[in-house]
Structure 1
Amino acid sequence: MCGSLPTQDLVTMLNWLFKKKTVAPPAPVRPATPPAPAAPSPEVLAARAAEWSARLSQALGDDTALLALAREAPGVDTKLAAVEALAGEVALKEAEREFRTHDRRVHRAAKQRLAAAVATRTARETADRLIDAAEGLRGEAVIPANRLVALDRDWHALDAALLDPAQTARFAALTAQLTALMHERAEREAAIVRWTASAREALAGLQTTWLAVAQGVEAVPVLTAANDAAGALLAALPLGHVDVALVDGLTAARLTAQQVAGRAVVVVSLDEPIEDAAAVTASWTNLPPVADPRAARALDQRWDAWWRAQATPDVAAPPPPEKKPARPRPAPVDPESVARAEALLQQAEAALAEGHLAEAHQHLAALDDIATPGQRPRLQGLWAEHGRLKGWQQWGGARARDDLVTEAEALATASAAPDAKVNARQQADTIDGLRKRWKELDRLGGATGQPLWLRFDAALKTAYEPVAAAQARVDAERVANLEAREALLAVLEATPPAHDTGWREQVRALDTFQQAWRKHGPIEHTVPHKAREALVARWRAAVAHIEAPLEAARREAERGREALIERANALAAEGASGRGRDLIPRVRDLQAEWQEHAKTVPLARAAENALWTRFKAETDAVFAQREAAFSARDDEYRANQAVREGLIERLAALGADTPAGELKKVMGEVDRQWYHAGDVPRQEVGRLESAYRAAHDAALSHLASSAQRTWQATVDAVIARHGLCERRERDGAHADLDAAWAALPAVPATWDRALTARWSGSPATADSAVVDDWLLQVEMALDMPSPEAYQAARRDWKLRAMKAALESRQGSPDHTVGLDDGLARLLAHAALTLAQRERFDAIVGVLRTRPR
């Protein structure tokens, strides 16, 4: 049927058939994705690590460079090292914000370093303030001990590990200096106080002694010794003494003592016979006057008495004493009376020795009637001593009263000054002490005149006026304080009940009242005494009116808080057992419930803090368990990451020279292990997938290159055997050729049979047209171009193949050879023409690039 068709129609039909049956044009080939770079080798990794370490060393001390390095570094360890090296708070705060949303380890390190830096700065600033305060305290005239103790307490409250050693050493040195300075000033002040007391005692002693010497009661050496002691005291005047009046008074007293001693020596010498009265009178006249009028008067009286005695030497002898009537003869003495009199004598002696004159007078009066003649001399001596001490007492009492009046008038004068600053309490104590001393003088004996008492009393009343004014102000302040307290109580009593305002308002009202109440000070010192008890009773009632129901509500609230703590404890136990589900939302709900409880009924601060601490410990345990779970998951992810990185390194270790079998084996194992490996940190997924794909593509490329090399080696072996066959046919058999033949690797069986037959001396022979036909079919099989002269034959072969396919449904027409068979025939043929040989070489060249 086909043979009867016209040629043009046949061509048209064949073209249509070729268009219909040809393979669809291949899809456009996408450009091959360049293979990802292979994973770096250990040497490269070590070099990179060394490079980052060098960059880190160069950036030390520069927070900006360290922060940039932390951002750019690929590894977590380098990031951590850079963050750990940061020093400034600004850089640490920026690092904490930078890594907050990703790498948790670096963020935690930055946060801890920032907290440590803030704590260090705060501690050192506080230390500097304390050091400045100590410096200022060192310059003060008086160093209060409480301020020094407060400084030391505040310093020890700081964390010593956060302080600069220079700060610690400076504060220790300042503390030692302040302590030594305070001790030195205290000792100096104590020395001044002791010297002042001794000086006042010496001044009083000098005044008493020179008056006694002037009256002839004491000897001049006693006054001289007292004067020398006063001089030694002045020589030992301590540094810093400011009582100039006392120093001047003691110096003037020493001069007065010298004046009294000089005149007393003259007066004492008058007791001896005087040969030259004019010389004595001249020496008396030339002596300086005595500054103390009483001593001068006593000395003048004694001088005048001597002078009058000298002026009237012929004085009549005193008349003989009148004879007293003889006493009746005493009756016999009872031994008991003698013993009683002896006891009274001993008691009188003891009373006189202790200066108890009133008691001694009672004993002596009783002895007048019962003393025996043998006891009379002792009794008379005791009466004489009593008289002498009584005189001294009266003289001393007069002096003491004069001193009291002087002190009272000086106190009144000082109090009446316009710019006087009077301490009311100290003034009242001073006035009370003066009055007690006056009463004590009255008790000891020695009456005083009414004018002196009136002067004393008037001076004290004048001095008491500032005290009375201050007391009036205090009374007015106490009344005002009472009124303010009553106003606070009225506000508290008017507070609405809790069911109208809520417990929080009750607590606020009570706290406001107590704060305002405390500002008014202690009740016992700030309100009138008469109103104190009623005010306290009202205060207790008003506070109890709110506190009683509040305490009941707080007890109920505490039970509610305890229940919440138990629920939190149960959640913590549930989380610890690993059976907990959705623990965090439940903990959040529990915390919100706690806050609602706290808003409804606020507890006392101590109770609230204690309960909250327990509740927070339980909830923190749940969060700690979650953190531990996250840490465990992170550890697992990091372990999986290490496994995947190891697989990538294993793929990266494959090279172009790795055998194909090993390439296939390693790739298969790595693929299986990769897909069975667990999850990795989210931020590492992209990097690992990219690195794995790059390593896998590189391995595939190595595998393809290996197949190509194997095929090329096979083709080269075929060509080498073919060349050996040609040399043997040309040169004859030779042992070297046999060895070379045996050394060549094996080739495909079809080609090996053809080459072996030719090697054994049985080459195939065929017509040149047949060989050309074989070459054409092989070229068609390789889809390589044929010479121009054979294009028609090539088309004819195609037509015949198509016709055979249409008529017999066979795959190829008769006499068709395939690639392997056609190449085998060409290899076995021994006589190729030059043109055929060129076509054969072209076929071999194309065959090397077409792996089977």
Structure 2
Amino acid sequence: MLNWIFKKKTAAEQAPVRPSPAPAPVAAPAETAAAREARLAEWAARLGQASGDDAALLALAREDGAPVDIKVAAIEALAGEAALKDAEREFRTHDRRVYRLAKQRLAAAVATRSAREAAAALLASAEGLAQEAVIPANRLVALDRDWKALDASLLAPESIARFGTLTTQLTALMHDRAEREAAVTRWTAGAREAVARLQTVSLAVAQGAETQSVLTAAAEAAAALQAGVPQGHDDPALVEALGGGRLTAAQIETRLALLAQFEAPVAEPAPPADVAAEPPGEGAPEPVKADPVALATDRWRTQPPIGDDRVAQALEQRFAVWRRSQGGAPAAPAPEKKKDKPPRPKPAAPDPEAIARADTLLAQAETALAEGHLAEAHQQLTALDDLVSPAQRGRLQGLWAEHGRLKGWQQWGGARARDDLVAEAEALATATEVPDAKIAPRQQADTIDALRKRWKELDRTGGPSSQPLWQRFDAALKTAYGPVAAALAKVDAERQANLAAREALLAVLEATPAAEETGWREQVRALDTFQTAWRKLGPVEHTVPHKSREALVARWRAALARIEVPLEAARKEAERGRESLIARAQALAAEGASGQGRDLVPRVRDLQAEWQEHAKSVPLSRGAENSLWTRFKAGTDAVFAQREAVFNARDEVLRANLMAREALVERLAALTADTPAAELKRTLSEVDAQWRQAGDVPRQDVPRIDVAWRNAREIAQSHLAASAQRKWQVTVESVLARHALCEQRERDGASPALDEAWSAQPAVPTLWERALADRWASSAAPVDADTVDQWLLQVEMALDMPSPEAFQAARREWKLRAMKAALESRQSAAEGTVGADDGFARLLGQSGLAPVQRERFDAIVAVLRTRPR
């Protein structure tokens, strides 16, 4: 049917088969082989000439007479991708072998070209990566992964070797640079630690808390680091810091050596003997002694300045302490000797109360210094300058020295803490300036506040700070506060927008008409809409400007009260109405439980409709509505549950009736064709009686159970009919057997075998048994043929079977006589009429029937077979 689609010819359209011509004589095998070899040699020579020329090879493969092997060899010799593409397109519709080869060669050529192009790109990336100052590890890993993804069999060996060399170089470069970076990192960390160590030790040595040997060791470690600066280090400031720390250490050693010279006791040189022996002349001026404190001060001031302010201040404090210690015995020039010099007054005796008060103050100053209260100790020491006695002055000078040492430590700690604060503030500002930095404004603000509090605390406890340092600190915190200010501005704008949205909601709510105009449902809807939108705007205390919050809340309360107050009153009234409906529902439930209720369901339906009207008129709050509805529903559900219980009881009865009827159907279905007729009759009778007594069944099961009942009963009745038919057939066969034995005995005479066969026959109906017994005993008197014809006619009429044509008039006469007799005497039969059983019995007792009569007798027997008696 589909041949026309494929343009194929049907069998009828095909050309007739022509007889094949006689085969040509076969040439000798030697000649055929030689010709073939010569032809292949010629094609091979042409193939060799075309080798290296894709166009010639492709033309050779296109020739019609070329052998397939030559075409395949030509395609295999093609080198260009364009030629392979032409070959694949040329042989696509014919010569599948050549086409497959061309397609495979083309795919391989394309894959090779793509792989080599990707390899060239990767090689260029690797060469470019080798020229970069920093080689990212992820790029090297990606390069190696992309190279491994290529098919190595498609790459040129020199490309593979080149990539291996480049990866080795890149790996070596990475390792070398990593080692140099690690060395620079280690040196930088060590240098920074050495600088910090030098600063800490220098200040401690300057304050007298550490020995000079510690400072010398720190300076030597810094010198070793300065001498071993690694290649690639690009932080000259750190190298300068090392040099500056060493210079400061050297200056500290020089200053400490001076202090040691100042503090060492110097013995006054004795004058020469001749000079000492000569008393000074009268009126000669006494020699003026040089002031050692002034000389020491001059030497101290001529020292080069120290770059570290804290170290310089600590050394100055120590020098000031020494100077104060020398203030009790200044090397002042002796006063000129006057002629009339009054005698020097004797010092007054020390006051015991002043000494005791000075001791108390000294003890308090010692306690204050021990506890670190330098300000309190300074006040006490200042007050003691004019109170102490010469014996107590040494103790006072010691306290002044301890105060100076502790003050230096406090100032050094405050300076270090300020430097740390500045570093933290600048780091915070730097992190803020990073593009796309994720900054938490609240946390940033807390951090800035904490830094400012710490600076104020240092101002209180650590002494004043330099103005440039404070400006750096303040500028960094202002920079860091930029995102916080932006976030606060954004929050303020959002709060203004939130305020505007809330005011718009309030305006809509305030414009809502009263309930008398729209009804309570509209009021509730407007209120719910407002509250939902209001909650979406967030808490008022966190989303509205503070200055507008109080007025907004007051307006909000007034707008809500305008609707909620009358709504609550209406809801209370509605709740009382719902309570009355609940009471009525509970009364209906109690009435149904007592069994005296009538028409409860319609009354419940009416009650539910009334509830719906109440709910539509005044909606309650969700909690109150749910609570009242639950109680109301419990009452109505009780009525429906009682109704359901009645229905369930009725359904149980119907299901029991259905099961009883199904059992009756199954009982009928258990009957078979082999069941005795008596049992069939009894079962049918009992099942019919029980079926009539069984009650109703569920409506949906009526058709099914009725059909099953009719089918089962019909089958049972068919079994009963078949059993009666079989029994009747046995009876008819027994009658015919006895009739045949009578005919045989009449023909052949009596014999014991016939008697035995007669006795073996089963019983037959009594009327027929008597007629056959009389015939067997030869006691029946023969009758004439007319009488037999009349019997045959009457039996045929009784069985309603046709009679021969010759007896149709007699048959009509018998019918008229029977009708007349029935009309006159109201009897069912005319005089002389015999029935079917009686007439058949008379026919059984007669012998010597004519052939026509015998045919009519056999026809009667055939009809009797089908009509059980």
Deviation at 1:359, TM superposition (A): 1.7
Contact 1:223 1:257 in 2 (8 A): no
Alignment-mate amino acid for residue 307 of structure 2: P
Which position in structure 2 is the counterpart of 1:603? Answer: 620
Contact kept, 8 Å, 1:264 with 1:299, in 2: the verdict is no
CA positional deviation for 1:644:
3.1
Q: Which amino acid aligns with 1:328?
A: A
Asked if 1:294 corresponds to 2:308, the answer is: yes
Give the match for residue 703 of structure 1: 720
Query: Quick one: distance in 2 between partners of 1:781 and 1:592?
Result: 78
Q: CA deviation at 1:214?
A: 6.0
> Counterparts in 2 of 1:360-371, with a 5 A limit?
360-365=377-382
| 1:358 positional shift | 1.5
Q: Paired residue for 2:202? A: 210
CA contact (8 A) 2:207 2:409 kept: no
C-alpha displacement at 1:360, in angstroms?
1.8
Give the 3-state SS of the residue equivalent to 1:763 in structure 2. coil
Q: Is 1:214–1:295's contact at 8 Å kept on the other side of the alignment?
A: no
How far apart, CA to CA, are the structure 2 residues paired with 1:272 and 1:376? 22
Match for residue 865 of structure 2? 848
CA deviation string 1:746-769 (max 9, x = no partner):
433333333344444523233454
Could you tell me how far 1:385 is from its partner in structure 2? Answer: 0.7
Describe the shift of the 1:753–1:610 C-alpha distance in structure 2 as closer, same or farther (beyond 3 A): same
Matched with 1:354 is: 371
Please list, as runs of the form range in 1=range in 2, the aligned pairs for 1:598-747 lying within 5 A after superposition.
598-613=615-630, 615=632, 637-727=654-744, 737=754, 740-747=757-764
Counterparts in 2 of 1:391 and 1:648: CA distance versus 1, 3 Å: closer
- Distance change (3 Å), C-alpha of 1:804 and 1:356: closer
Q: How does 1:368-387 map onto structure 2 within 5 Å?
A: 377-387=394-404
The amino acid that maps onto 1:687 is: R
Give the C-alpha shift of residue 355 in structure 1. Answer: 1.9
**Aligned-partner Cα distance in 2 for 1:730–1:739:** 17
1:666 Cα deviation from its structure 2 partner: 2.0
> Are the equivalent residues in 1 in contact too, given 2:365–2:380 (CA < 8 A)?
yes
- From 556, 560, 563, give the equivalent of 1:546: 563
The structure whose Rg is larger is: 2
More displaced 10-residue stretch of structure 1: 694-703 or 815-824: 815-824
Aligned to 2:341: none
Distance 1:634 1:362, change over 3 A: same
Q: Distance in 1 between matches of 2:257 and 2:441?
A: 55
- Aligned partner of 1:751 in structure 2 is 768
Pick closer, same or farther for the CA change 1:255–1:744 going to 2, 3 Å.
Answer: farther
Aligned AA (2:840): L
Q: Equivalents in 2 of 1:571, 1:801: separation in Å?
A: 79
> Equivalent of 2:407, from 390, 396, 399?
390
Matched-pair contact (CA < 8 Å) for 2:441–2:483: yes
- Given that 1:214 and 1:260 are in contact with CA atoms closer than 8 Å, whether structure 2 keeps it comes out as no
Q: Residues 797 and 357 from structure 1, CA distance in 2 versus in 1: closer, same or farther, beyond 3 angstroms?
A: closer
Shift, 1:356, TM fit: 1.0
Q: Is the 8 A contact 1:408 1:456 kept in 2?
A: yes
Structure 1 partner of 2:211: 219
Distance in 1, matches of 2:438 and 2:831, equals 146
Q: Tell me the residue number matched to 2:96.
A: none
Quote how far apart the aligned CAs of 1:471 are.
7.2
Quick one: higher RCO (CA 8 Å, sep 6+), 1 or 2? 1
Q: 8 Å contact 2:780–2:845 — kept in the other structure?
A: yes
Instruction: Note the alpha carbon deviations across 1:449-484, whole angstroms, 9 max, x for none.
Output: 899989988998999899889878877876776666
1:357 positional shift: 0.8
Partner of 1:509: 526
TM-score by length of 1: 0.56
The answer as to 2:344 corresponding to 1:330 is no
Task: Give the 5 Å matches for 1:156-175.
Answer: none
Q: 1:146 — aligned with what?
A: none
Any stretches of 5+ residues in structure 2 without a counterpart?
1-190, 223-232, 262-303, 320-329, 336-343
Cα-to-partner distance string for 1:410-453 (whole Å, 9 max, x where unaligned) = 99999999999998867766776566556545544756789998
The one-letter amino acid paired with 1:500 is: E
Contact 1:209 / 1:218 at 8 angstroms: preserved in 2? Answer: yes
Give the equivalent residue in structure 2 for 1:45. Answer: none
Aligned residue identity for 1:387 = G
Give the deviation of 1:252 after TM superposition: 8.2
**Which amino acid counterpart does residue 330 of structure 1 have in structure 2?**
P
Partner of 1:121: none
Instruction: Give the conservation status (yes or no) of the 8 Å contact 1:215–1:299.
Output: no
Distance of aligned partners of 1:481 and 1:728 in 2 relative to their CA distance in 1, 3 Å threshold:
closer
Shift of 1:386: 1.3
Displacement after TM superposition at 1:835 (Å): 5.3
Aligned equivalent of 1:46: none
The DSSP-based 3-state class of the residue aligned with 1:752 is helix
Change (3 A) 1:471 1:779: closer
Q: Deviations over 1:646-703 (max 9, x none)?
A: 3333323333443433333222222233344344454443333233223323333333
Q: Is the 8 A contact 1:215 1:298 kept in 2?
A: no
Picking from 775, 779, 785, the partner of 1:762 is 779
- What are the Cα deviations for residues 296-330 of structure 1, in whole angstroms up to 9, with x where unaligned? 9959999xx9xxxxxxxxxxxx9578799864332
Listed one character per residue, the Cα deviations across residues 378-401 of structure 1 (whole Å, up to 9, x for unaligned) are: 444222211332344456667777
Q: 1:566 to 1:814 in 2, by over 3 A?
A: closer
Deviations 1:137-189, CA, capped at 9 Å, x for gaps:
xxxxxxxxxxxxxxxxxxxxxxxxxxxxxxxxxxxxxxxxxxxxxxxxxxxxx
**Matching of residue 558 in structure 1 with residue 572 in structure 2:** no
Unaligned runs of 5+ in 1: 1-198, 231-243, 274-289, 306-317
Q: Secondary structure of the equivalent of 1:293?
A: coil
- Is the contact between residue 764 and residue 830 of structure 1 (CA under 8 Å) also seen in structure 2? no
CA distance in 1, matches of 2:833, 2:415: 168
Counterpart contact for 1:654–1:699, Cα < 8 Å: yes
Deviations 1:172-229 (A, max 9, x none): xxxxxxxxxxxxxxxxxxxxxxxxxxx9999877644434446776435656899999
With the length of structure 2 as denominator, give the TM-score of the two structures. Answer: 0.55
Q: Is the 8 A contact 1:654 1:663 kept in 2?
A: yes
Partner of 1:70: none
Length, aligned pairs only: 607
The 5 A counterparts of 1:508-527 are: 508-518=525-535, 521-525=538-542
In structure 2, give the amino acid aligned to 1:210: S
For residues 573-612 of structure 1, the aligned pairs below 5 Å read 586-612=603-629
Could you say what secondary structure the match of 1:328 adopts?
coil
Deviation at 1:537, TM superposition (A): 3.6
> Contact 2:310/2:412 (CA < 8 Å) preserved in 1?
no
Q: Structure 1 CA distance, aligned partners of 2:727 and 2:259?
A: 158
